[in-house]
Structure 1
Amino acid sequence: MTTMAIDKKVLNVPHLRFPEFTERWDTYRIADILCIGNGRDYKHLSKGDIPVFGTGGYMTSVNECLYEGETTFIGRKGTINKPFYYNGKFWTVDTLFYTHSFKRVIPKFVYCLFQTINWLRYNEASGVPSLSKDTIEKIKVRIPQLDEQKKIAKLLSLLDERIATQNKIIEKLQSLIKGIAQNIVHRNKPNVRISQCLECSSSTLQESDVLECGAYPVYGANGVVGFLDNYNTSNEAIYIIKDGSGVGAVSYVAGKCSATGTLNILQAKKGFSLRYLYYLLNIFNFEPYKTGMAIPHIYFKDYGKAQIFCPSYSEQLKYAKFLATIDDKLLTEQNVLINLSLLKQYLLRQMFI
């Protein structure tokens, strides 16, 4: 591929393209290159083997199809900014559009093209995001000749396949860690209360207090939310979400850092391995200990009474070391996935106008 040192707004060519192609890209409305199909209710249909899709993906299977062939789905209501590709028989609900009757474009290229569009820009609702067929059809896009479309689509399809493979690798490692931890639990009788193993402290730090730059990371419910020049955790700890939709989710941290008020800080008492306890809490069922209707909460005073299995300290360390080895491999594979995703985003930005 070559990088074009030319103003793409003048010549209608992308910054990055295969060297054998030099023609200008042409501008069309989406209505000029394909048709937008509407989804319909499926409740009158019987069970079958034809998938029904909504904005969140697969929903169920029925005995009739709305369309058969290659398509790119785009949300009409709800999730409107995550197009996805499918090839085969399918049915869609009325919150999901599908594409068909392609002219001047191949379906796989349309999928790539749709990933470059800022769909939220065309949102027509103040509440739940919404798109209309008319709005989509009026969007102007630039496309190359079919031969170039095919090469672009093939390259990005290969990258999608590699990303899918990477996701499977990650899922298998996550399942392995979970399976080993569950095996430890199921094969041994609980012998100690959580409160005998761990100490719990809370934080008053709010996300509004954190900075964009600082010496030490600050963790919230969704990971790192900023930085500070001081810290409330000086060594290893388990951060556990104590309220909200992710209540009960745990993460292991090591080194100087801080937790916001939505997290509790758990630290091991003498004679217990924090890393071992982290793996057990990762599979612990917090459901019986949740309180609150609108916003669920968990309290250490409640789940701390639950019993778990803790072998001798030396055995805890062995389990923790073994699981940490797999965890390190998992982190490596997750970083590979991040880099693949960044590569795809780069290509989508550079190979399209």
Structure 2
Amino acid sequence: MVPNGWEFKKLGLVAELQRGFDLPSAKRIEGNVPIISSGGLSGYHNESKVEPPGVVTGRYGSIGDVFYVEEDFWPLNTSLWVKNFHGNYPKYVYYLLTSFDFKKFSDKTGVPGVNRNDLHAVKVGLPPLHEQRKIAKILSTWDKAIATNEKLIETSKQQKKALMQQLLTGKKRLVNPETDKVFEGEWEEVKLASSVSLMRSGLSRKLESENVGIAVLRSNNVGERYTSNEDLKYWYLDDPQGANVRNYILDEGDILVNFINSLSQIGKTCIYKKTGDLNAIYTTNLLRLKPNTEAVTGDFLFYLTKTERYRNAVKSITKPAVNQASFTTKEFGKITFTLPALKEQQKIASVLTAADKEIEVLEAKLAHFKQEKKALMQQLLTGKRRVNAEKQTEVAV
């Protein structure tokens, strides 16, 4: 059923898409006009090609992102841009395109790409111009709230990073709640090997998708702070190859380390968090660290693996390879840290944990905003939910 006052037209009659322009690479850093490629803003050119407002999306390589441009721009040949809005409100067209599932139009046999003719053939809902403006205004308000929340998250992360740099090096000492005085005493430099009671890699098996006995954590389950249970694989409790699987069952608080992985992921760590009664083991490209609680708390050791000192140390022992980089447990165990007394470790970890929880709350709020906006878009852009807009004579931008 067509909403009152709406039309359903092919996209090509609402917004005509055009392939971007070729551009010599030598000119990519000249001038002050942004170049918009399939990946977004990528450089500058010294000649204006398209006047704003503009709507650009990826044609080849990176597809799915849609950009609204409010300044002169040069759309690169890997992109598609709206050449003609046919009298429609550009910001409404932008939201219309952001609601598309571009993967449906992609050639899955090679590099992702979309054909403008395929997009032009899609029928879309088109309300009157005054309603287009109102819808765009409502959705823009949500975008502003999302952008504000993203800035808060980024600011909180930067503040936490600075706090870690101060607290984990002893440049800033906290107050001991037992004495109401600042912690004192020298920090001790120790090797990682002496800070853990266990350092062991996991099982190498061709895993099953169905639950045949016990969950298996892989590199993709290594989250930013805790393990993730997304896309779990499984193995048998009674190993067909004779290994004692129970020796690999993780305990709450164990730290997992990517030690065979891509260069971008090598050394990444997280804390194992058990979900309900679900036990888990881990694969051979992960190292299991069990903190030596007489020397270091688990949370403090985890935060030490998020420092620049740790990243540089991992980089120095990593051996690059064609497929996957790696380092040995022997070299990993030689990495050094400086540790305060256990009570100061606990206090530092509690402060950083509080900062993490603050970020988690903001991230949950951001996810909620995005979900609410997505649901609202689905209603507004189909006419299932109408806006309260008085009819008036308007001219498209």
Normalised TM-score (structure 2): 0.75
Q: Which residue of 1 aligns with 2:22?
A: 40
After superposing the two structures, state which structure 1 stretch, 188-197 or 315-324, moved more: 188-197
Seen in structure 2, the aligned counterparts of structure 1 residues 214 and 140 have a Cα distance that, compared at 3 Å, is: farther
Report the counterpart of residue 351 of structure 1 in structure 2: 380
Q: 1:168 to 1:94 in 2, by over 3 A?
A: same
Matched, 1:332 2:315: no
Shift in alpha-carbon separation, 1:105–1:327, aligned structure 2, 3 A: same
The Cα of 1:331 is off from its aligned counterpart by 1.1
**AA paired with 1:253?**
Y
Aligned to 2:11: 29
Q: Is the aligned partner of 1:68 residue 2:68?
A: no
Q: Distance in 2 between matches of 1:328 and 1:50?
A: 41
Matched AA of 1:40: D
In 2: Cα distance, 1:155 partner to 1:219 partner: 42
Between structure 1 and structure 2, the one with the greater Rg is 2
Map Cα deviations across residues 256-301 of structure 1 (whole Å, 9 max, x no partner). Answer: 5535414322221122111111111012212222223222223332
Distance 1:351 1:236, change over 3 A: same
SS at match of 2:200: strand
Matches within 5 A, 1:84-123: 84-123=67-106
Contact 2:8 2:123 in 1 (8 A): no
Q: Size of the alignment, in residue pairs?
A: 335
Cα distance in structure 1, aligned partners of 2:299 and 2:192: 14
In structure 2, distance between residues paired with 1:93 and 1:37? 8
Structure 2 gap ranges (5+): 172-186, 222-227, 238-247, 383-397
Distance 1:322 1:136 in 2: 51
How far apart, in 2, do the equivalents of 1:252 and 1:30 lie?
Answer: 51
SS at match of 1:292: coil
- Tell me the residue number matched to 1:18: none
Query: For 1:71 and 1:240, how far apart are their aligned partners in 2?
Result: 45
Cα 1:108–1:325 change in 2 (3 A) is same
1:19: which partner in 2?
none
Query: 2:291 aligned with 1:293, yes or no?
Result: no
Q: After superposition, where does 1:159-174 map in structure 2 within 5 Å?
A: 159-174=142-157
Asked if the contact 2:199–2:290 (Cα under 8 Å) also holds between the matched residues in 1, the reply is yes
Amino acid at match of 1:279: Y
Q: Give, in angstroms, the shift of residue 31 of structure 1.
A: 4.5
Aligned position for 2:112: 129
Q: Contact (CA 8 Å) 1:71, 1:107: kept in 2 or not?
A: yes
> What is residue 315 of structure 1 aligned with on the other side?
344
- The percentage of aligned residue pairs carrying the same residue is 22
**How far, CA to CA, are the matches of 2:293 and 2:219 in structure 1?**
27
Q: How big is the shift at 1:213? A: 12
- Which of 301, 304, 322 is matched with 1:280 structurally? 304
8 Å Cα contact 1:159-1:344 kept in structure 2: yes
Task: Compute the RMSD of aligned alpha carbons.
Answer: 2.9
Q: Aligned-pair distance for 1:305?
A: 0.9
Task: Identify the residue that residue 2 of structure 2 maps to in structure 1.
Answer: 12
CA distance in 1, matches of 2:274, 2:55: 46
**1:16 corresponds to which residue?**
none
TM-superposed deviation, 1:179: 1.8
Tell me, yes or no, if structure 1 residue 258 matches structure 2 residue 286.
no
* Alignment partner of 2:335 out of 306, 312, 315: 306
The answer to whether the 8 Å contact 2:63/2:112 transfers is yes
Structure 1 distance, partners of 2:131, 2:206, is 47
